[in-house]
Structure 1
Amino acid sequence: MNNSGLIIHGLLSGIIITSAATSLLPAAFPVKFRAVLMLYITVMAIIGNLYLGNILGILMVTGLLLLIMYMAKEDKIQNILFACLGYGICILGNSFVLFLLDALFGLSTNVITQKYLFPFSLGYFCALNALFIPLRKLIYTYWQLPQLLRHIKKPMLYTLAGNLFLYIIIFIVNISLGEHIGYTKEALAFNSLLFFICLVSSSILIFTCMKSFINAQQHEMILRQQTILEGYVASLEGTVDEMRSFRHDYKNILSTMAAYLHEEKFKELEEYFYRKINLPIANSELQMEAWKHLKNIQTMELKGFLYEKLLLLFTRSLKFQIRISDNLKVTYTPTEPLIRILGIFIDNAIESAECTPDGEVILEITATEKGVSFYISNTFSSPPDLFSMGKKGYSTKGNDRGNGLYWAEKAIHENEQFFHILEIQGNRLIQQLEVIKK
């Protein structure tokens, strides 16, 4: 074979092998990466034709797989597996087609190489790519092998890739031996049959291992879920016990307060009330200040709730601003969900602001065209995760500390009269809840 023939043969080998090695990869390789692979294979094919023959294929395929691993951005082992599969199908198909041409038309490998190299390579390239189209669909759509492989640990993936690579090496060695005896029909048939058996047995082994491993993982996941469920049930039982205890305490507190009212011991009632809700006893100045801010609130339930929160705010070493529109009346009924939501927001705002050197809380209640807007702003030491704030178990006070924000968000979504805005501006968390009139 002259120099031009060597270059053409090497270039055709580069095109076919590059296509085979990259057609089944999880993600399409960029053109520049394919060009690098094709250039590498072309050079190796020319060197093999000049000096070492097909035995150089061992070095060539090793370098090819290393280049693919280096170029792949993710799932590197999967890329090696599918590159080995594509390359193995390529050389198996090549031997099988050469065997058919020799058996049916008497065209030996040497004759094809010398006289029909270009049409043979072009036809084989087209046939190979036509085969890879349905095969790729089978692998990725029907079998969903990449998703299954992601559940397998890396040591097993390395073993599977090494197994395919070993079969390819054995096949290359057999081809090299066939090169020395003249590529007889018998040698081609033996190579094709041997590699076909290896490929089928390897595929069965891979599927069996994958299925067993995935079944074991699913069993382990079921056991983990069962453990989590048992812990959750135990937690629920503890919560129920706490609720029962709280109900008894709650009834006792109400009974005690009723007794104070019956005896008209209002001073003692006031002391008892603030002691039970963990508030310091409000002096007359604080009470007057609180009522002064709330004079424009017409809804009595909301006024009583805000009175308690303002007293709490006054007793903390925080800066605060309170602005309330004149003659404000909230028409939303019942008021319990609204008060529960505002209570969660204000309590969290106070606790967050207390963790900052210059803590400040701003409360604004204003009338809007559609209803009433509640604006709550507070400083924070570290910005909260806005995406997770409404999720169950998330708390600005630490992991698994409470579900207040979750219940507030749930109540907002369940009522079409509530419109909630949550945002961060500088070092402030802002929550705005608008109650829309019906």
Structure 2
Amino acid sequence: MVTIIGSFVQIATLCLNNFFFVNGFDHAKERFYFVLILSCLAPVLFVYIGIIGIVIPVLLLIYSNYRYKKDPIVSITAPFFAVIILVISDHLSFLANSFLFDISVEMVNAQLSYYGLHLLFFLLFSVLLSFITHMVIRKLKQFVPVFKHYFLFLMSLTVLTVSFFYINILVSDRSGFSSEIVQFNSFIFLAYFALFITILGLLLFSVIKEMKVKNKQEEYKQLRMYSENLEEMYGELQKFRHDYINILSSMSEYIRTKDMEGLETYFNEKVMPTGQGIKKNHYKLGALQNVKVTEVKGTLVSKLIKAQDLGIDIALEATEPVHQINMDYIRLCRCLGIILDNAIEEAEQFDGSSIHIAFIQKENSLLIVVANTIGGEIPKLYKVFQQGYSTKGENRGLGLSNLKEIVSKCENVTLETKITGKMFFQELEIAD
């Protein structure tokens, strides 16, 4: 009876911890049946296979995680972390019973009431460790792209830890689980677990340091781009100044000869189009003065000039000053870069295309809207964020899938994509 109840509770706890780590309760009904069936099969696994029977639930959890998350790092590490918590909680429960109530392992295995107390401590330790682990995972989410470089090391360390635990448990099982052996194993496991956490901490420190260096490099790149664009705009201003003097000089001969008809024709055909072009470009770039975030302004300037050089009608609207945005500026610049590059790439293929950018300050958030005309095939919304999908040919379509991944790591940022007629809208809302 103790084996049946214990294996049922432990496998159910293992599954729930795993789903908790991967935020996998969105398919609640299916998950419930998965946990129920696997927990009911647990007694059979442990009776006929023994402790090694834990391998089958772990493999099934890895499959289930990858089926919904499509993330190999999370899919593999979550079940192993759940196993580590399972073993640590089980041994902490034995220690608690021993030190608080002087209940030995033999008494726990012999009497159902003592075993019930053991399971109560086991569940308490499991919940506590799971919440701590979940909080750490949430903090580490922003470093997932960098952690991919350390995936093999992280996976090897986790598998080595679980293997060490279960080899020790198997040896102890053959020697007989006495109170002395369990206590000794508990101290060894806790010491090894502390070493495991220390190594992870050092890895995290290395990752954070690497991220800071990359962020500084990206920030420098954005500032350099902004400076280059300012220099380009200054050069354009100098050329206009020179052209303006030449235009005035060319008009002087008409004035000297009092040729008003010729002056009117020259003014309407030569001077006015130049003035309209200057006025038009000033309108497009003038609203940038309200965007006070240097990194974002640099990205916008580079994309606006690129669009204008391609002859695309582009307009920016920011009626209120934007002094601060509650989002990591590197991530925001990546998002804006992807959205605007896609808009420009679409707009340059067709004549008469346009792009509109708006910064709208709402009560508790900032809404950034980018709208561009669609000239050809209207994309299917449920496909646009799939990696590799593109209406422009092969080896494309990576930008929007990356955009979705970046936004998913920011809890206060939402992205809404919609198509109205021949206009494609990307709305990025950032809560204060």
**Among 193, 203, 207, which residue is 2:201 paired with?**
207
Report the equivalent of 2:12. 15
Q: Which secondary structure state, in structure 2, belongs to the residue aligned with residue 264 of structure 1?
A: coil
CA shift, 1:185, in A, is 2.7
Q: Relative to 1, partners in 2 of residues 1:342 and 1:109: Cα closer, same or farther, differing over 3 Å?
A: closer
Which residue of 1 is the match for residue 87 of structure 2? 91
Structure 1 equivalent of residue 45 of structure 2: 47
Residues 384-437 of structure 1 deviation map (CA, whole Å, 9 limit, x = unaligned)? xxxxxxx656679957647974357769999xxxxxxx99886699xxxxxxxx
In 2, Cα distance between equivalents of 1:163 and 1:60? 20
Is this contact kept in 1: 2:93–2:125, CA < 8 A? no
Distance 1:404 1:243, change over 3 A: farther
Q: 1:253 deviation in Å?
A: 0.9
**Higher alpha-carbon deviation: 150-159 or 101-110:** 101-110
CA deviations over 1:83-115 (Å, ceiling 9, x no partner) = 422321221121232245356656443442232
Give the alignment partner of residue 132 of structure 2, picking from 132, 135, 152.
135
Structure 1 residue 249 corresponds to structure 2 residue 243 = yes
Measure the CA separation in 1 of the matches of 2:36 and 2:164.
23
Which sections of structure 1, spanning at least 5 residues, go unmatched? Answer: 280-304, 310-338, 346-390, 415-421, 430-438
Deviation at 1:177, TM superposition (A): 1.1
In the alignment, the residues of structure 2 paired with residue 101 and residue 6 of structure 1 have an alpha-carbon distance, to the nearest angstrom, of 18
Alignment of 1:142-153 (within 5 A): 144-148=139-143, 150-153=144-147
Kindly tell me: are residues 413 and 138 of structure 1, through their superposed partners in 2, closer, same or farther at Cα, counting changes over 3 Å?
closer
Gaps of 5+ in 2: 285-299, 321-356, 360-370, 374-419, 425-432
- Report the Cα distance in structure 2 between the residues aligned to 1:399 and 1:175, rounded to whole angstroms: 69
Counterpart of 1:176 in structure 2 is: 170
- Counterpart of 2:211 in structure 1: which amino acid? Q
TM-score w.r.t. the length of structure 1 is 0.58
Distance in 1 separating the partners of 2:65 and 2:171: 29
Q: Is the 8 A contact 1:85 1:164 kept in 2?
A: yes
2:13 is aligned with what amino acid?
A: I
The answer as to whether partners of 1:17 and 1:90 remain within 8 angstroms in 2 is yes
1:37-76 correspondence to structure 2 within 5 Å? 37-49=35-47, 51-57=48-54, 59-60=55-56, 62-73=58-69, 75-76=71-72
Shift in CA distance, 401/111, structure 1 to aligned 2, threshold 3 Å: same
**Residue of structure 2 aligned with 1:276, choices 266, 270, 280:** 270
**Rounded Cα–Cα distance in structure 1 between residues aligned with 2:316 and 2:248:** 26
1:114 aligns with 2:115: no
1:182 Cα offset (Å): 1.1
Whole-angstrom distance in 1 between the partners of 2:41 and 2:145? 38
Matched-pair identity in %: 20
1:77 aligns with 2:82: no
For 1:226, the equivalent position in structure 2 comes to: 220
| 1:259-298 matches, cutoff 5 A | 259-273=253-267, 276-277=270-271
Name which of structure 1's ranges 90-99 and 40-49 shifts more when overlaid on structure 2. Answer: 40-49
Q: Which residue of 2 aligns with 1:164?
A: 158
CA deviations over 1:229-252 (Å, ceiling 9, x no partner):
234323322321331221122122
Q: Could you tell me how far 1:195 is from its partner in structure 2?
A: 2.0
User: CA contact under 8 A between 2:93 and 2:119: conserved in structure 1?
Assistant: no
Structure 2 residue matching 1:406: 3-state secondary structure:
strand
Quote how far apart the aligned CAs of 1:254 are.
Answer: 1.7
Q: Distance in 2 between the 1:226 and 1:426 partners?
A: 40
1:220 Cα shift? 2.6
Structure with higher helix content: 2
Q: 1:196 aligns with which of 186, 190, 195?
A: 190
Q: Determine if contact 2:316/2:358 at 8 Å carries over to the other structure.
A: no
- Distance 1:190-1:211 versus aligned 2 partners, 3 A rule: same
Question: Conserved in 2, the CA contact under 8 Å of 1:41 and 1:60?
Answer: no
Measured on the aligned residues, the alpha-carbon RMSD in Å equals 4.2
CA contact (8 A) 2:108 2:118 kept: no
Q: Distance in 2 between matches of 1:275 and 1:268?
A: 11
Moved more, 394-403 or 71-80: 394-403
Superposed CA offset, 1:175-232 (max 9, x none): 1111111112332123222222222222221222222123223213322332342343
User: 1:95 corresponds to which letter in structure 2?
Assistant: H
Change (3 A) 1:10 1:205: closer
Helix, strand or coil: the match of 1:233?
A: helix
Letter aligned with residue 113 of structure 1: N
| Pair 154,34 (structure 1): closer, same or farther in 2 beyond 3 Å | farther
Paired residue secondary structure (2:229):
helix
Give TM-score, length-normalised by structure 2: 0.59
Q: Secondary structure at the match of 2:49?
A: helix
- How many Å separate the matches in 1 of 2:91 and 2:66? 30
Structure 2 CA distance, aligned partners of 1:244 and 1:234? 15
